[in-house]
Amino acid sequence: MPKSTNSNGEARKNLMNDLTEILFTEQQLKQRIGELAVQLREEYHDKRPLLISILKGSFVFLADLVRELDFDCTIDFMIVSSYGSKSKSTGAVKIIKDLDIDIENRHILIVEDILDSGLTLSYIKRILEAKKPASVRICTLLDKPARRTAQITADYVGFTIPDKFIVGYGLDYAERYRNLPVIGVLDPSIYSDE
């Protein structure tokens, strides 16, 4: 259990010490999200898309992205699990929370934190397409093609990353590190897959 700390950010500093390297700084994330917003504006400015955030990992990305969008859109959430407390996907996808609204004839943009094996996103996309939306596209902050086992690609990608286990900016390991303002590589001594 983490120790309680004072308000000087000691807890965050301790979490940052668990990183072996920082892949993307706060400024790099902000800049790239702004660039993605420009791309999305070209596609969706007149379509009133529904942005579907895949929780929990994408909530920080979605929050920053949606504040950059200057067109009408709506938001809904799905909670899907394929990791549990592991550092690699188990391959078994479980929907914990489905959508609250009807998506028939809507333009759908899935907002995801990371596309790695592709198993989860392939599954989600098939489920959504069965509900007869006008379109389904994927916007992922991070793309890790070295891990891909499903045939799926994102339509919008923030960054392509190497095959390393990363945390921060919403991404976690065992529900920790989501609150880091950067994306970094987690020290392998912190985790193990059994």
Domains of the chain and any CATH numbers:
28-161 (3.40.50.2020)
pLDDT tens, 150-183? 999 999 999 999 999 999 999 999 999 999 999 9
Annotated catalytic residue: which of 113, 116, 143, 172?
A: 116
Spatial CA neighbour of 61 closest among 75, 45, 82: 75
Active site residue 116: yes
Which one is predicted more confidently, 75 or 90?
Answer: 75
Mean pLDDT of 2-12: 58
**How far is Cα 126 from Cα 169, in angstroms, rounded to an integer?**
27
pLDDT tens, 48-57? 999 999 988 9
Q: What letter would DSSP give residue 86?
A: S
Mean pLDDT of 19-34: 97
Confidence band, pLDDT 50/70/90 cuts, at residue 133: very high
Quote the tokens at residue 172. 């976690």
Which residues contact residue 116 at a Cβ distance below 8 angstroms, ignoring those fewer than 6 apart? 89, 144, 147, 148
Residues 20, 26, 30: CA angle, nearest 5 degrees:
140
76 pLDDT exceeds 70?
yes
